[in-house]
Amino acid sequence: MANEDRQLDVRTEVPARRHDLIFSTYAALRLGEAFVLVNDHDPKPLYYQFAAEHAGQFSWDYLEAGPSTWRVRIGRPVASD
């Protein structure tokens, strides 16, 4: 039986702290692991930051897309080579 992904709910965090929490959570993942980000707005700017800093090293899957809650599964996939 697979473990559920950890949830990181940043809705109560001050905006200035959110990206640090998200990136430290991502950095702690082992290959093949993921977490679910819970946010109060579409984290599209965060996606672009991941794409710039971790190109090809992350997965991003919307599980819920608003209007008041967004849930995105962010993972560290196992390399395919």
pLDDT in tens, 10-41: 999 998 999 999 999 999 999 999 999 999 99
pLDDT band at residue 2 under the 50/70/90 scheme: very low
Expressed as residue numbers, the domain containing 67 is 6-75
pLDDT of residue 5: 87
- The count of structural domains within the chain is 1
CATH number at residue 57: 3.30.110.40
Mean pLDDT on 73-77: 97
pLDDT of residue 79: 73
Kindly state whether residue 22 falls inside one of the protein's structural domains.
yes
69 compared with 81, residue with greater pLDDT: 69
Residue 7, classed as helix, strand or coil, is strand
Kindly state whether residue 15 falls inside one of the protein's structural domains.
yes
Residues with Cβ < 8 Å from 78, sequence gap 6 or more?
31, 32
pLDDT of residue 3: 58
Kindly state whether residue 16 falls inside one of the protein's structural domains.
yes
